[in-house]
Structure 1
Amino acid sequence: MKDLVLFYDDTKKSCRDYAAEFAKFDHVECEKASEYVNEQLIYKTGGQIGLVFESENGKVPYSVLHIIWRLIADKRESHMIFVTGGSRELKALKSAKHDMEKRGLYVRNVYSKYILQKQKLQGDAAVRHILDELSQGHENLPQKEDIQNMNKKERRRRFRKEFKAYRKYMRQGYCE
């Protein structure tokens, strides 16, 4: 497997916990995002980049945004984003993916706490799943062809069902 440089938001406990799980693997290098806030350019070439942060009401934390803005990495590699929770985590995930793609960094693997809990993965099992997908080159983004081949009624039904499940998840208090 290629090396993975993981930038994480060290102000949140959930991010520190997941970074500790990632650090157990020898090909993963964990870096605190707050250490790079004053850097003008961040050079990390020769491997994949991972971002781990917690959503702040649908926004990406400043320290992680600063890394996205200043990062110089391989544009041919596939990179990873993992949102460990917070309110409106899917909105933050979409925002971070958009910002990285605007910089020319291709993101093929996106994860949130909600997505992993739907697959009944937590802690060490979630980290192993993420690293396995990265090493095998699997893309976990939903296929646009599947959705485009559905008619309008089926598509609406599928999105409504998924949104209903997400609202139920948020009401149960898992978002904290």
Structure 2
Amino acid sequence: MDKLMIFYDDRKNSCISCAEKFSQYENVECRRISEYQDQSLVYATGARVGLIFESENGKLPYEVSHIIWKIVADKNRNHMLLITGGSRELKAARAAVSDLGERGYHILNLYTRYVMEKNKITPEKAVEWILKDIETEKPKHMKERVKEKYQGMPKRELRKELRRELKEYREYQKKQIKIRKQNLS
């Protein structure tokens, strides 16, 4: 497997625990984002880049944006994003992919906490699964499942199914907000 350099948000416990799990594998180097706040350029050449962060109400944390603006990496490689939670994580994923796309970087592997939980992938299994996807350069697990599920479905049924999926996602978000409020109390 190619070398993977992961930058993680060291202010969030979920990001720290993910980074610890990734660092157990060889050819994976985990770096704290806070160490690079003073630097004008962040060099990550010769490796794929991974970003682990938590969404902040659909936006990227400033520290992650700073890394995206300052990173110098191989533009001919596919890179990875892992969003470990937060509110409106899909909107944050879109923002990160857009920002990296403007800089000329391509994201092939994008993972969110919601998708992992929906597919019953445990955090321990998730790291192996992500590294396997990165190694093969074909994140086919999800694509194949989705393709099989919706293939040959009439448009009307497909719309109903997509609405149901959206409703489930909204319910998931409400549940996460309740859990966060309980933890703060």
TM-score between the two structures when normalised by the length of structure 2: 0.86
Evaluate the alpha carbon distance shift between residue 71 and residue 165 of structure 1 in structure 2; reply closer, same or farther with a 3 A threshold. Answer: same
Partner of 2:78: 78
1:65-98, Cα deviation, whole Å (9 max, x unpaired): 1110111111111100000001111111111011
Residues in 1 aligned to 2:161 and 2:153: alpha-carbon distance in whole angstroms: 10
In structure 1, distance between residues paired with 2:46 and 2:156: 45
Determine the structure 2 residue equivalent to 1:118: 118
- Compute the displacement of 1:139 (Å): 2.9
Which residue of the partner structure matches residue 157 of structure 1? 160
Counterpart in 2 of 1:167?
170
- Provide the rounded CA distance (Å) in 1 between the counterparts of 2:143 and 2:71: 26
> In structure 2, what is the Cα distance between the partners aligned to 1:167 and 1:17?
26
Deviations 1:12-66 (A, max 9, x none): 0000010000010111000001111111111111111000000111111111111
Give how far 1:155 is off.
4.7
- Aligned mates of 2:155, 2:66 — CA distance in 1: 40
Equivalents in 2 of 1:77, 1:54: separation in Å? 24
2:96 corresponds to 1:96: yes
SS of residue in 1 equivalent to 2:100: helix
State the distance in 2 between where 1:76 and 1:9 align.
Answer: 25
Per the alignment, in what secondary structure is the counterpart of residue 99 of structure 1? helix
1:150 CA displacement:
7.5
TM-score (norm 1): 0.90
Unmatched runs of 5 consecutive residues or more in structure 2: 181-185
Q: Between Structure 1 and Structure 2, whose CA radius of gyration is higher?
A: 2
SS at match of 1:121: coil
Report the counterpart of residue 64 of structure 1 in structure 2: 64
Pairwise CA distance, 1:158 = 3.3
Q: What is the distance in 1 between the residues matched to 2:139 and 2:132?
A: 11
Identity of aligned residues (%): 43
Q: Which blocks of at least 5 consecutive residues in structure 1 are unaligned?
A: none
| CA distance in structure 1 between the aligned counterparts of 2:94 and 2:153, rounded to whole angstroms | 23
Aligned length: 173
2: CA distance, partners of 1:152 / 1:41:
48
In structure 2, what is the equivalent of residue 107 of structure 1? 107
* Structure 1 partner of 2:183: none
Q: In angstroms, what is the RMSD of aligned CA positions? A: 2.1
Letter aligned with residue 29 of structure 1: E
* Residue type of the alignment partner of 2:80: M
Distance 1:53 1:161 in 2: 28
Q: Partners in 2 of 1:75 and 1:150 — Cα distance? A: 38
- CA offsets per residue over residues 103-131 of structure 1, 9 Å max, x none? 10000110000011111112211111101
